[in-house]
Structure 1
């Protein structure tokens, strides 16, 4: 089992010392729906929580924060939603806990950097595969360079987007733990592998979904660009248009999740 890199010492034992099903620091007032939407936007969660159609049904508490869980409906179908923390390891903990509560059809959406400057801010991308340049996924699946999204889930996402005549692009994404180590050489390498985007969670969450045998999909919207001579944060779009784009994606995600 011993390898030069500990991340390659995969152990397929199903049971761990600490299981998410233990339910510690999780508080629910009613059964959680099997469909769920997660967004990285705290502002959007705050805004949605004030709607009459939304009900708070519980929360997950940690040493540093309390994360609320809400319930709503899309076309008469119930779904849960909550904020997803940034970063593979933190997002994995949240996903594991919600799966243990009974959630098994999940859509996560958030921003991604683009490696092709021609992809405009706000464009919707479906990450159908991800380069595993993070550490979490290697604890759930054997070592491999990439991981793919379940094709059935990809088809469901495409069906909803095309139903609403929304332009999208399928892509390979580069999932990394180290936002401050996105160097020129690494970007060039990922581009040569066919990556169009860079994110911090996708490959880890795909690995967990495969390990736990649940339906999981992700939507990305293009934000900053690493595809030019220097980093372009695209601040004008973020300040003026990103809020509307995020809100629009939430309801798309809700429709997809409730139809998986």
Structure 2
């Protein structure tokens, strides 16, 4: 099976430092939301300077310097989808970042879970391809205990309610079939996303700190897909949570 081809013994042909170089005084902590419009608007509204660029065939993805009180942070859009997300994180690692806080939305597999809840993926089902290039094959991957404790402490200190649980990380949002949904729900999954297991595998392989979380959005646990209301309503709380984590790991 191709997913068993994990190779940690030979050198990578294309390495991130062949396309990127260290940047002087680059922030150690990166906040990377999966909201392109939000990042761009926030940067313009606050006059944030551009300090880097994670380029791809899709174009430029700028890194902005964000000074929040005593915190020196980098802000960038995390591309949606595991492959491009991890490629961007690799670029930022070479530039000088060592700690990554990512947040976006997730679907829920349990109709009793309301919209806009902060969700911590303590375990992720590896139903995507990227993670298998960073860790040996396994059905799931765990968030490190220390990472989970840091997120919990940060959110508790900031008095932000949260829940934690198992997420189903999949590559194909239009192939979340009813049978697979039921299978994942029986296996204990509460959420569905498309990056978490790859982020956890990458951070473990590169020995980098990564702090992924979500806000709960659409509901799969209904007769028809339930969109729910606009996810943008939940961004302020998610940003508050990210900054709380940044304070703790600074």
Aligned residue for 1:248? 237
Question: In the alignment, does 2:2 pair up with 1:6?
Answer: yes
Distance 1:52 1:64 in 2: 25
Aligned residue for 2:226? 232
> Where do 1:74-153 residues align within 5 Å?
74-153=68-147
Q: Secondary structure at the match of 2:44?
A: coil
Q: Secondary structure at the match of 2:132?
A: helix
- Give CA deviations for 1:74-111 in whole Å, capped at 9, x if unaligned: 33020101001111111111111111222111110000
Distance 2:26 2:236 in 1: 23
Aligned residue for 1:19? 15
- Give CA deviations for 1:168-207 in whole Å, capped at 9, x if unaligned: 1111100000111101110111111110000000001110
CA contact (8 A) 1:27 1:59 kept: no
Tell me the TM-score normalized by structure 2. Answer: 0.94
- Give CA deviations for 1:118-172 in whole Å, capped at 9, x if unaligned: 1111111110110000011001111111001121111111111111222111111
CA contact (8 A) 2:31 2:242 kept: yes
Cα offset for 1:209?
Answer: 0.2
Distance 2:213 2:135 in 1: 22
Distance 2:80 2:126 in 1: 16
Structure 1: 5+ residue stretches without partners:
none
CA contact (8 A) 2:22 2:96 kept: no
Aligned residue for 1:43? 37
- Give CA deviations for 1:207-256 in whole Å, capped at 9, x if unaligned: 0000000111111111100011221111xx21xxx324113312321331
Moved more, 49-58 or 111-120: 49-58
Cα offset for 1:53?
Answer: 6.2
Distance 1:221 1:54 in 2: 25
Q: Structure 1 residues 33, 14: CA separation in 2 closer, same or farther (over 3 Å shift)? A: farther
Distance 1:160 1:51 in 2: 27
Q: What RMSD over aligned residues (CA atoms) do the two structures have, in Å?
A: 1.6
Distance 2:106 2:65 in 1: 26
Q: Structure 1 residues 73, 151: CA separation in 2 closer, same or farther (over 3 Å shift)? A: farther
Q: Secondary structure at the match of 1:61?
A: coil
Aligned residue for 1:73? 67
